[in-house]
Amino acid sequence: MSIENNNIETSEKTDITPKADIKKSDKVEMTPVLGKKSLSKEAKRANRNLMVRRGINTFLRYFVLILVGAIMIYPLIWMVGAAFKNNSEIFSSMNPIPIKGTLDGFKNAVKSYGGNINIWKSMLNTYSYVIPQVILTVVSSVLTAYGFARFKFVGHDILFGLMMAMLFLPQVVLNVPQYMLFNKFGWVGSEHYLPLIVPAAFATETYFIFMLIQFLRGVPKELEESAQIDGCNVFQILIKIIVPMIMPAVVSCALFKFMWASNDFIGPLLYVKTPAKYPATIFVKLSMDSDAGFDWNRVLATSLISIMPNILVFFAAQNQFIEGISAGGVKG
Amino acid sequence: MKKKFLSAFLATAMLATSLTGCGEEKKETTEATTAATTEAAAGDTTAAPADDAAAYDECTITFDWWGGDSRHEATQAAVEAFEAKYPGINVEINFGAWSDWETAKATEYLSGNNPDVQQTNFDWIGKYDADGTTYLDLNTVSDVLDLTQYDEATLAKCVDSKGGQAGVPVSVTGRTFYWNEATFEAAGLSVPTNLDELMAAGPVFKDKLGDNYYPLVIGEYDRAILVAFYLQAQTGKPIIDENNQLTVTQDDLKKGLEFIKSLEDAHVIPTIPYLDGEGADSMDKSQRFINGEYAGIFEWDSSPAKYVSALGDNGDDLVVGNVFPELQSYSKVSLMFSISADTEHPRECAMLLNYLLNDPEGAAIMASERGIPESKAAYEVVNAAGKINPLSAQAHEEVMNSNPLYWNPLFDSSKLKGDTSTYTTVFEQFSYGMDAAGSSYDLDKAAADLYNGYMDALAQ
């Protein structure tokens, strides 16, 4: 957000002069413009008025931005504060700053469950299937998108239609049949998270394929043709020409997948059957017993620790990510 | 090109399948030497058939449960103690939180790969064991698992359609009132012990403490239970009986709804619009409850801990009330342990259950993590060790003193209980006085909808 603000601000500053000229001529139309040498008193006053108005303008703009920004970020700040509060304080005050601070939440968050699983291990577990998932998803989606966008083959239109129809198929519907299939394979409870990782190799994220195809439409075919003349085969064209051109979109896909996969709860719940293999999403919830009650600060502290890598990854790739999304929107 | 990739992927997938297929063959059964195990079981005195328990196979059994921190810890410790006592039996455990746990279990039941031993919910018998083939009839292992520690009547509740003992009732729970004594004192009242006193407290609260003070707070589902309690007191029969029949008429339900309305009118309970104004989904998250503005709740005997913790420094203010004589309570099996009918080691599974539920050693570790134990042997041990939450124990006593009736799990059918199901919509619209479309919603409509909701759920 702050980057954008700065951009707006600098662009405002650069066009101060032309705008001021227009405004000045508007305001001071009664008196003839005499040139810079002999600015009349009126013109000076008008200039001052203009500065004041500009100041107010900036103030208002920042006021609104800060206000809205504060509202947007409040839940996150509240979450950080609440991790240091006890249950009764969490639900009785909106104030994000804890009055009777306690570190119990964090102390309990790093506690292990009978030596089986602790937060660090669970985070490691998460990334041990998230990273292969991301890689496989990106590779398979790029290949599929390339196929659909650049090659005409028998059944192209029907297959494309079917693939687009998959966009509207909710995951819930797939849970049971998939589970039964993977159970037949003997993958349920697999140590290597096979039911979570393997489907990613088959371009199951329709949305990414769609997004990449839209991107590919913006890549001029002439580039590929000239590459062909230079002796590239189709695979080399993909690697050397297409992928670098659509890099922002690929990064977006990877980031989306990274976030979705590391937030996935129901997948691991269905397929991971040993506590030692639990990922962070399940670990965070382990202590939540709605009947007997539980310490919210522990849950919040665990959540806070476990979202850190995601936040870091997001900020590290923020520029590419935003570029990818907005470019996708424009070209689509 | 694409075809090549596809075939490569398929080949990899197949390879992976065959690899894991080999790795799965973990469950091995080896004959144990009886000599070594007789000694191990010699210390076991509770279970009558202790001597027979001496013989067991070395094996791996799987066991899972849901719950919170302390339950996870206690159960893991108990399982470790079991493994130490019966060397050779390896228990693979799995545990999680309740949310979505049933989703995962439902898929397991569908595919038939549910664990050998499971903590099960009472209504799962009807849902997943309708034909009696999911859970083992525990009578077949009663030589190892001592069922005599349980009341016949309680055991009878956990029977499947074929008459098999589908689960052991770990604990029984019911609802009673809890009062915030400090608020009642501020109003110059003692906590109510019958309906008249409660009704009289409403206006006093309003006058002395202010409009925002109420002697009791109940949400939609609580209202449904209170209506059931109210009507059961009049008919003397469970609202849904053992034969899945509704024992009340639409007119009866109307009386029940009128009763709820009278509570709202007398400023005894806040209206649903007032509750929605705060938006807390349960009272332990309500600022008004934490501040003492709501001076009473109607809750399970197993739940006071979370309300005490919510009140923070004022936790001592919460006291247990009785079930009013004008109401007729019910009790239900809060959860059970079951053994899978497909298990290869029923005997060892039963040994595990017996250790966790009836053995003084195991029961002491399990304490009251799953409610106050129904097993007499376990209750003695746990009670003697002072491991029962006193508030919970008192509430449980109140529930049991009220001669609770039978409770049919269909009362909690997903058609009735749930965010968009009958109880929520009827009590919400009735309290708002209008339906979702904005037209008026009166007593007759509410009674008709509630009645039809019951009929619909029972027709399943």
Give the model confidence (pLDDT) of B275-310 as tens digits: 999 888 888 889 899 999 999 999 999 888 889 988
Q: What angle do CA B346, B348, B350 make, to 5 degrees?
A: 70
Calculate mean pLDDT across residues B393-398. Answer: 92
Report the C-alpha gap between A129 and A133 in whole angstroms: 6
pLDDT greater than 90 at residue A258: yes
Residue with token string 């400023």: B267
B104 touches chain A (CB under 8 A): yes
| pLDDT score at B40 | 42
Listed ranges A90-104, B26-40, B415-429; the one with the highest mean pLDDT: B415-429
Report the C-alpha gap between B390 and A267 in whole angstroms: 40
pLDDT greater than 50 at residue B19: no
Q: Is A330 helix (H, G, I), strand (E, B) or coil?
A: helix
| pLDDT score at A171 | 83
Instruction: Give A6's pLDDT tier (boundaries 50, 70, 90).
Output: very low
On whether the CB atoms of residues B114 and B135 are closer than 8 A, the answer is no
Instruction: Give A7's pLDDT tier (boundaries 50, 70, 90).
Output: very low
The pLDDT > 90 percentage for chain B reads 67
Query: Phi and psi for B138 in degrees, rounded to 5?
Result: -70, -15
Q: What residues contact residue B398 under an 8 Å CB cut-off, 6+ apart?
A: B176, B301, B320, B321, B322, B323
Report the C-alpha gap between A298 and A258 in whole angstroms: 25
Report the C-alpha gap between A133 and A201 in whole angstroms: 8
The pTM of the full predicted model, rounded to 2 decimals, is 0.78
Calculate mean pLDDT across residues B414-435. Answer: 92
Residue among A51, A50, A52, A56 at smallest CA distance from A27: A50
Query: Phi and psi for A61 in degrees, rounded to 5?
Result: -60, -45
Instruction: Give B398's pLDDT tier (boundaries 50, 70, 90).
Output: very high
Instruction: Give A38's pLDDT tier (boundaries 50, 70, 90).
Output: low
Q: What residues contact residue B62 under an 8 Å CB cut-off, 6+ apart?
A: A273, B91, B92, B93, B94, B115, B116, B117
The more confidently predicted of residues A115 and A31 is: A115
Instruction: Give A18's pLDDT tier (boundaries 50, 70, 90).
Output: very low
Calculate mean pLDDT across residues A269-283. Answer: 92
Instruction: Give B38's pLDDT tier (boundaries 50, 70, 90).
Output: very low
> How close is the nearest chain B Cα to the Cα of A2, in Å?
34
| pLDDT score at B91 | 95
Instruction: Give B70's pLDDT tier (boundaries 50, 70, 90).
Output: confident
Listed ranges A42-51, A128-137, B157-166; the one with the highest mean pLDDT: A128-137
Residue B279 half-sphere exposure, CB side, CA atoms within 13 Å? 2
Q: Is A271 helix (H, G, I), strand (E, B) or coil?
A: helix
Instruction: Give B21's pLDDT tier (boundaries 50, 70, 90).
Output: very low
Calculate mean pLDDT across residues B264-280. Answer: 92
> How close is the nearest chain B Cα to the Cα of A328, in Å?
25
Instruction: Give B55's pLDDT tier (boundaries 50, 70, 90).
Output: confident
Report the C-alpha gap between B224 and B457 in whole angstroms: 14
pLDDT greater than 50 at residue B32: no
Residue with token string 């130490």: B84
pLDDT greater than 90 at residue B11: no
Set of chain B residues whose Cβ sits within 8 Å of the Cβ of A114: 72-73, 76-77, 80
**Model confidence pLDDT, tens digit, residues B227-261:** 999 999 999 999 999 888 999 999 999 999 999 99
pLDDT greater than 60 at residue B376: yes
Report the C-alpha gap between B88 and B423 in whole angstroms: 50
CB contact under 8 A, B97 and A270: no
Q: Which of B54-58, B115-119, B414-418, B443-447 has the lowest mean pLDDT?
A: B54-58
Q: How remote is the C-alpha of A283 from its chain's centroid?
A: 23
| pLDDT score at A155 | 93
**Model confidence pLDDT, tens digit, residues B113-149:** 899 999 999 889 988 988 889 999 999 999 999 999 9
The ipTM of this complex is 0.75
pLDDT greater than 70 at residue B2: no
Calculate mean pLDDT across residues A49-60. Answer: 92
pLDDT greater than 50 at residue A17: no
CB contact under 8 A, B103 and A175: yes
* Minimum-distance CB partner of B95 among A87, A275, A294: A275
Q: What residues contact residue A195 under an 8 Å CB cut-off, 6+ apart?
A: A178, A182, A187, A188, A267, A270, A271
**Model confidence pLDDT, tens digit, residues A168-200:** 888 888 888 999 999 999 999 888 999 999 999
Calculate mean pLDDT across residues B75-87. Answer: 94
CB contact under 8 A, A266 and B9: no
> How close is the nearest chain B Cα to the Cα of A281, in Å?
11
Can you spell out the DSSP letters for A138-167? HHHHHHHHHHHHH---TTHHHHHHHHHHHT
On whether the CB atoms of residues B220 and B352 are closer than 8 A, the answer is no
| pLDDT score at B134 | 92
Instruction: Give B30's pLDDT tier (boundaries 50, 70, 90).
Output: very low
CB contact under 8 A, B97 and A286: yes
Three-class HEC string of chain B: CHHHHHHHHHHHHHHHHHHHHHHCCCCCCECCCHHHHHHHHHCCCCCHHHHHHHCCCEEEEEEEEECCHHHHHHHHHHHHHHHHHCCCEEEEEEEECCCCHHHHHHHHHHHCCCCCEEEECCCHHHHHCCCCCCECCHHHHCCCCCHHHCCHHHHHHCECCCCCECCEEEEEEEEEEEEEHHHHHHCCCCCCCCHHHHHHHHHHHHHHHCCCCECCECCHHHHHHHHHHHHHHHHCCCCECCCCCECCCHHHHHHHHHHHHHHHHCCCCCCHHHHHHHCCCCHHHCHHHHCCCECEEEEECCCHHHHHHHHHHHHHHEEECCCCCCCCCEEEEEEEEEEECCCCCHHHHHHHHHHHHCCHHHHHHHCCECECECCHHHHHHHHHCCCCCHHHHHHHHHHHHCCCECCCHHHHCCCCCCCCCHHHHHHHHHHHCECCCCCECCHHHHHHHHHHHHHHHHCC
pLDDT greater than 70 at residue B268: yes
Calculate mean pLDDT across residues A303-314. Answer: 89
B307 touches chain A (CB under 8 A): yes
B113 touches chain A (CB under 8 A): yes
Amino acid code (one letter) for A34: L
On whether the CB atoms of residues B176 and B398 are closer than 8 A, the answer is yes
Instruction: Give B26's pLDDT tier (boundaries 50, 70, 90).
Output: very low
| pLDDT score at A325 | 61
Say if strands B117-120 and B168-180 run parallel, antiparallel, or are unpaired.
Answer: unpaired
Instruction: Give A302's pLDDT tier (boundaries 50, 70, 90).
Output: very high
Residue A208 half-sphere exposure, CB side, CA atoms within 13 Å? 28
pLDDT greater than 50 at residue B22: no
Residue with token string 């992927």: B9
Name the average pLDDT for chain A: 84
**Model confidence pLDDT, tens digit, residues B330-368:** 999 999 999 999 999 999 999 999 999 999 999 999 988
Calculate mean pLDDT across residues A151-166. Answer: 92
Instruction: Give A327's pLDDT tier (boundaries 50, 70, 90).
Output: low
Structure letter (DSSP) for residue A327: H
pLDDT greater than 80 at residue A33: no
Residue among B102, B119, B114 at smallest CA distance from B167: B119
Write out the two tokens for A249.
């979109």
Set of chain A residues whose Cβ sits within 8 Å of the Cβ of B72: 113-114, 286-287
- Long-range (24+ apart) CB contacts under 8 A made by B417-420 are B417/B221, B417/B224
Instruction: Give B265's pLDDT tier (boundaries 50, 70, 90).
Output: very high
**Model confidence pLDDT, tens digit, residues B159-173:** 988 889 999 999 999
Report the C-alpha gap between B83 and B352 in whole angstroms: 9
Instruction: Give A329's pLDDT tier (boundaries 50, 70, 90).
Output: very low
Instruction: Count interface pairs A-B at CB distance under 8 A.
Output: 148
pLDDT greater than 70 at residue B45: no
Q: What residues contact residue A238 under an 8 Å CB cut-off, 6+ apart?
A: A142, A143, A146
Instruction: Work out the end-to-end distance of chain B between its first and last CA atoms, rounded to an integer number of angstroms.
Output: 54
How many CB atoms sit inside 10 A of residue B102's CB? 16
CB contact under 8 A, B99 and A290: yes
CB contact under 8 A, A293 and B291: no
On whether the CB atoms of residues A92 and B314 are closer than 8 A, the answer is no
Q: What residues contact residue A74 under an 8 Å CB cut-off, 6+ apart?
A: A96
The DSSP bridge partners found for residue B371 are: B369
The pLDDT > 70 percentage for chain B reads 88
Instruction: Give B49's pLDDT tier (boundaries 50, 70, 90).
Output: very low
Q: What angle do CA A251, A257, A262 make, to 5 degrees?
A: 130
Residue A112 half-sphere exposure, CB side, CA atoms within 13 Å? 11
Calculate mean pLDDT across residues A39-48. Answer: 84
Instruction: Give B451's pLDDT tier (boundaries 50, 70, 90).
Output: very high
pLDDT greater than 70 at residue B151: yes
Suggest the residue from A135, A239, A289 to mutate for an interface test with chain B (most B CBs closer than 10 A). Answer: A289
On whether the CB atoms of residues A110 and A284 are closer than 8 A, the answer is no
Amino acid code (one letter) for A142: V
pLDDT greater than 90 at residue A257: yes
B389 touches chain A (CB under 8 A): no
* Minimum-distance CB partner of B68 among A116, A190, A287: A287
